[in-house]
């Protein structure tokens, strides 16, 4: 080392730098550039000191070659006096203060591990549980912090001498890789991979233990197998996802353009979410995989076992060349959550509860500590967006505009998630589900406890939906901290404001199925002025009657009948609809009995679907709207198809037009006119209030046709438009917005109190 030009630099690094191979990476770089010094993990990040005359090259390489899971958020540098007699670079023993550290999310197999997996000479050859600091399970196997082997599901597996040597070798990729394991010392699968594939080929349904829970797998091209799975799962129409070996295999089933970098990058990212893509027709896939929808959820292998399954299906070739070859083996992969209860994670529970669905259960002896479904995403105008945020993204924090008091937000009733804030970070939980059964509610309580414990947070305020009868709202009332009820659509819009750091006044459009408004009204098509913790309703969709109240949400034909009534044509209802109870329904509408009004956009879509005979009765939430969207070929605008009066947007003219339309033409007209109408409405509001920042939120913005066109149109007008990206647009993102509103209210109160 040339000590004359030697400099010494001290760096404080924050971000995702622990449990991701950052220290061995720095160690390797220091050796490459002949630098001395040390590195140290501590409670809030990493401290690094380097000395020598190639520090600039080191820093360049540090940024350019960062391990796949590492992310540097901040790096403070300071020149310090050089130290004589320092000859090497060492990794110092960690100072652990668990409270500000976080558990990293799970990650798919890295390229180095993949090579070992299919290298006959490697001691990890064909071992379904290999991993390293750059990949593998994290969140789903961790009981508590600090993130240390003893606090994970790996604590019961004692490292063999070879694994231990790698674990303690600072130059090794497995240095302090907490979940590291090999065939000699790690978990074991209950069935040989070749047998798994053989059974799948025979058309059997397998329950296979994955990263965050059991999946049900079957051959996606075997119609009979998929049909059997639907029957046994009682899941008549809800779409399934499909997994295949690689992109070129997936391209047989979905359209992914060669220049569609966003979709390809997302599918191949270390997070490996399920991504929605346009479905190909006549691809050989069973029509029951995603019935009557034009989109299909697809995913690439993310555990070593997934890779082994596809490798076996190709005849067990060694090496990694096969990974580029297209194969026709594709599997349905769906969560094993019988009866709408949470994902099954326990071996014994699987034997009891999945026996009636699966022909055979494949498990292993590593326990799943934290249940986590697959994440589901789609791309809108090149922006990846969440439909369900779970595996591989949780528990990564979402940065808030600034610090707020610690908050717990308990979400809504459907697609529940919870959120805990600490400082300027929001920790949104994984997808919990619909809080309609005891098991899901238990999962909800467990998740809250786990988040509060691992983050070391005692909430100053608990936020909940303004619907007092939601189980989540009742839980909040019992919790024992001060509470704040947050209006549903305000929360939706606040979630978008929070993640995009919008703190100035903005105009928000929330479109969804149902949320309780003021005076117990049913809302769902709301135009609001949003100013942080305050909102003002400045407009809404013209309400429609919901004959039979809640039942109308499951039966689109009822909403269609309500349109007839609004048109003064209720005498036609019994002629047009043949459902049982149609006569009583007409009377209900005429007398206004059991017909609460709603401004819901979800019900507007239902009405359109009902009028076009696309769907009379829904099997699952959102089905009518999804089928309607699937029919769109080219949107068409009906002139004078809407009216705006006193802030109210009325789409009655286009609804009337649908009565005599064929489904495709109708879907084109409805979408085109709705988009033009919303755009018109928003532009008027923007001018009137002199605000150019617009927020779009709510489950309806998962409609790709709607969100994509509206975003384009408004942006072209020079407006700033923001949609949710880091949290789902639907109720899965509600808790983030609730937390932001509650945290801000309390912060404001405290500031006033001290003034
Ligand atoms: Zn790896
Ligand atoms: Zn071992």
pLDDT digits (tens, 9 = 90+) for 488-513: 999 999 999 999 999 999 999 999 99
Same domain, 203 and 317: yes
Indicate if the pLDDT at residue 454 is higher than 50: yes
Instruction: Note residues around ion ligand 2 (Cβ under 5 angstroms).
Output: 160, 163, 182, 184-185
Give the pLDDT of residue 1: 47
Same domain, 593 and 718: yes
Same domain, 348 and 411: no
Q: Determine the average pLDDT of the residues in 231-258.
A: 93
Mean of all residue pLDDT scores within the chain? 94
Which of 331, 348, 378 is the last residue in one of the domains?
378
Burial-class residue 640 by CB neighbours within 10 Å (0-12, 13-18, 19+): exposed
**Residue 659 three-state SS:** coil
Burial-class residue 4 by CB neighbours within 10 Å (0-12, 13-18, 19+): exposed
The pTM for the full model equals 0.93
Q: 162 alpha carbon to ligand 1 midpoint, in Å? A: 17
Buried b (16+ CB within 10 A) or exposed e, 463-498: bbbbbeebebbebbeeeeeebbbbbbbbbbbbbbbb
Could you tell me if residue 511 is inside a domain?
Answer: no
Nearest ligand, CA 182:
2
Same domain, 545 and 429: no
Same domain, 565 and 677: yes
Which of 350, 378, 406 is the last residue in one of the domains?
378
The tokens for 286 are: 């069973």
Could you tell me if residue 477 is inside a domain?
Answer: yes
The tokens for 161 are: 């001498």
Give the pLDDT of residue 754: 63
Same domain, 293 and 368: yes
The tokens for 511 are: 């479109």
Q: Kindly list the distances between the CA atom of residue 80 and the CA atoms of 7, 23, 51, 72, 746, in Å, as whole numbers in the listed order.
A: 8, 21, 9, 22, 42
Same domain, 240 and 350: yes
φ/ψ of 201, rounded to 5, equals -65, -30
Same domain, 578 and 670: yes
Give the pLDDT of residue 3: 56
Q: 372 alpha carbon to ligand 1 midpoint, in Å? A: 21
Q: Per the structure, how many domains does the chain have?
A: 4
Same domain, 275 and 364: yes
Could you tell me if residue 119 is inside a domain?
Answer: no
Q: 425 alpha carbon to ligand 1 midpoint, in Å? A: 28
Indicate if the pLDDT at residue 97 is higher than 80: no
| CATH code, 62 | 3.30.70.100
Q: 498 alpha carbon to ligand 1 midpoint, in Å? A: 34
Report the DSSP beta bridge partners of residue 425: 399, 422
Same domain, 718 and 601: yes
Could you tell me if residue 156 is inside a domain?
Answer: no
Nearest ligand, CA 185:
2
- Between 274 and 17, the more confident residue is 274
Could you tell me if residue 157 is inside a domain?
Answer: no
| CATH code, 331 | 3.90.870.10
Q: Determine the average pLDDT of the residues in 267-272.
A: 96
Could you tell me if residue 167 is inside a domain?
Answer: no
Residues of the chain above pLDDT 90, percent: 87
Q: 143 alpha carbon to ligand 2 midpoint, in Å? A: 22
Of the listed ranges 35-44, 541-550, 647-656, the least confidently predicted one is: 35-44
Indicate if the pLDDT at residue 2 is higher than 60: no
Domain containing residue 415: 397-500+734-754
Nearest ligand, CA 164:
2
Same domain, 334 and 453: no
- Between 746 and 102, the more confident residue is 746
Q: 172 alpha carbon to ligand 1 midpoint, in Å? A: 11
Give the pLDDT of residue 98: 41
Q: Determine the average pLDDT of the residues in 250-279.
A: 95
| CATH code, 420 | 3.30.420.360
Give the pLDDT of residue 96: 58
């Amino acid at each position: 080392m040339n000590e004359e030009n030697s400099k010494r630099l001290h760096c404080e690094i924050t971000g995702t730098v622990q449990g991701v191979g950052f220290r061995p990476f720095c160690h390797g770089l220091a050796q490459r550039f002949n630098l001395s010094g040390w590195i140290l993990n501590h409670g809030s990040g990493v401290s690094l000191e380097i000395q020598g005359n190639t520090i600039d090259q080191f820093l360049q390489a540090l940024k350019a070659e960062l391990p796949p899971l590492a992310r540097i958020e901040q790096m403070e540098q300071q020149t310090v006096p050089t130290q004589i007699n320092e000859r090497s670079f060492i990794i110092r023993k960690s100072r652990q203060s668990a409270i500000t550290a976080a558990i990293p999310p799970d990650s798919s197999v890295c390229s180095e591990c993949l090579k070992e997996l299919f290298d006959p000479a490697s001691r990890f050859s064909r071992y379904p549980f290999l991993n390293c600091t750059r990949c593998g399970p994290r969140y789903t196997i961790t009981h508590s912090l600090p993130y240390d082997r003893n606090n994970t599901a790996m604590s019961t597996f004692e490292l063999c001498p070879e694994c231990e040597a790698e674990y303690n070798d600072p130059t090794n990729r497995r240095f302090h890789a907490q979940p590291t394991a090999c065939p000699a010392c790690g978990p074991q699968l209950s069935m040989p991979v070749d047998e798994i594939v053989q059974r799948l080929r025979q058309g059997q349904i397998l329950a296979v233990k994955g990263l965050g829970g059991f999946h049900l797998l079957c051959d996606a091209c075997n119609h009979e197998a998929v049909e059997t799975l639907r029957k046994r799962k009682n899941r008549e129409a809800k779409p399934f996802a499909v997994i295949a070996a690689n992109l070129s295999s997936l391209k047989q089933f979905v359209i992914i353009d060669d220049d569609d970098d966003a979709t390809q990058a997302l599918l191949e990212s270390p997070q490996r979410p399920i991504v929605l893509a346009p479905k190909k027709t006549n691809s050989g896939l069973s029509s029951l995989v995603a019935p009557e929808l034009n989109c299909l959820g697809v995913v690439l292998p993310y555990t070593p076992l997934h890779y082994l399954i596809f490798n076996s299906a190709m005849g067990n070739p060694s090496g990694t060349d096969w990974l580029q070859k297209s194969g026709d083996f594709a599997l349905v992969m769906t969560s094993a959550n019988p009866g709408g209860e949470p994902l099954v994670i326990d071996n014994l529970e699987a034997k009891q509860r999945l026996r009636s669905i699966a022909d055979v259960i494949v498990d292993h002896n590593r326990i799943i500590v934290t249940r986590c479904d697959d994440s589901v995403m789609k791309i809108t105008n090149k922006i990846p967006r969440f439909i369900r945020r779970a595996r591989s993204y949780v528990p990564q924090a979402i940065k808030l505009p600034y610090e707020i008091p610690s908050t717990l937000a308990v979400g809504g009733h459907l697609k529940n998630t919870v959120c805990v804030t600490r400082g300027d970070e929001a920790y949104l939980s994984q997808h919990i589900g619909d809080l309609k059964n005891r098991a899901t509610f238990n999962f909800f309580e467990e998740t809250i406890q786990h988040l509060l414990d691992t983050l070391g947070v005692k909430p100053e305020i608990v936020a909940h939906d303004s619907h007092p009868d939601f189980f989540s709202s009742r839980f909040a009332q019992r919790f024992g901290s001060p509470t704040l009820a947050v209006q549903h659509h305000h929360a939706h819009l606040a979630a978008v404001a929070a993640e995009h750091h919008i703190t100035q006044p903005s105009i928000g459009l929330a479109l969804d199925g149902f949320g309780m408004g003021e005076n117990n009204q049913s809302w769902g098509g709301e135009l609001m002025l949003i100013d942080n913790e305050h909102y003002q309703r400045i407009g809404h969709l013209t309400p429609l009657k919901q004959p039979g109240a809640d039942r109308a949400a499951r039966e689109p034909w009822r909403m269609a009948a309500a349109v007839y009534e609004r048109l003064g044509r209720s005498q036609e209802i019994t002629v047009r609809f043949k459902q049982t109870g149609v006569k009583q329904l007409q009377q209900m509408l005429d007398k206004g009995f059991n017909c609460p009004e709603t401004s819901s956009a979800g019900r507007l879509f239902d009405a359109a679907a009902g009028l076009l005979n696309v769907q009379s009765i829904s099997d699952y939430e959102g089905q009518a709207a999804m089928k309607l969207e699937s029919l769109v070929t080219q949107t068409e605008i009906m002139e004078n198809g809407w009216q705006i009066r006193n802030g109210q947007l009325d789409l009655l003219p286009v609804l009337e037009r649908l009565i005599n339309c064929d489904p495709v033409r109708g879907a084109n007209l409805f979408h085109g006119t709705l988009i033009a109408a919303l755009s018109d409405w928003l532009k008027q509001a923007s001018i009137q209030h002199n605000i150019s920042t617009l927020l779009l939120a709510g489950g309806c913005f998962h409609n790709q046709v709607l969100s994509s066109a509206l975003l384009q149109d408004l942006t072209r007008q020079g407006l700033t438009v923001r949609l949710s990206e880091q949290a789902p647009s639907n109720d899965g993102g509600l808790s983030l917005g609730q937390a932001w509103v509650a945290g801000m209210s309390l912060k404001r109160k405290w500031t006033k109190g001290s003034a």
